[in-house]
Amino acid sequence: MMKLLIFAFIFSLSSEKKGDILKTGEKLFKKGTCSSCHNLTDKKKIGPGLLGLFERLEKNKKDEKWLKEFLKNPSKMIEKDEYAKNLFKKYKMKMPKTRLEDEEIDILIQYLKEATKIENEESEE
């Protein structure tokens, strides 16, 4: 019984911490320039709608490491990466460099993983 209580306590802490991370990520998305150009839906704003972001990245053989690099320096990625070049061609605008620290970018990515999940919906790129 004691082991079960300890497990439940640890699980609640990790759920609470995840909730804090998601709240912080949401603040970073809204406070930063992200929400100025992107929706969390499939609707285009200045940049693409982000619904299904990670599914699109996976489909194009990109991962969180790629996304972090792109967020840190979009111009550099456009120079060297075909997928980034195609996004630039499609939207005709370079995404600005984020002014976030690495840890903040990691938190933002965790938030986006949750906020942009799709459930049997099609999203535009």
pTM of the model: 0.79
The residue ranges of the chain whose pLDDT is under 50 are 2-13, 120, 122-124
Q: Quote the tokens at residue 5.
A: 């209580």
Write out pLDDT tens, residues 25-50: 999 999 878 999 999 999 999 999 99
- Phi then psi for residue 51, to 5 deg, are -60, 130
Residue ranges of domains in the chain, CATH in brackets: 30-115 (1.10.760.10)
- The Cα 97–Cα 89 span in angstroms is 18
Instruction: Find the angle CA(102)-CA(94)-CA(106) to the nearest 5 degrees.
Output: 15
Question: Tokens 């929400």 — which residue?
Answer: 35
Question: Tokens 């909730």 — which residue?
Answer: 19
**Angle between helical axes of 102-115 and 64-72 (0-180°, round to 10):** 120
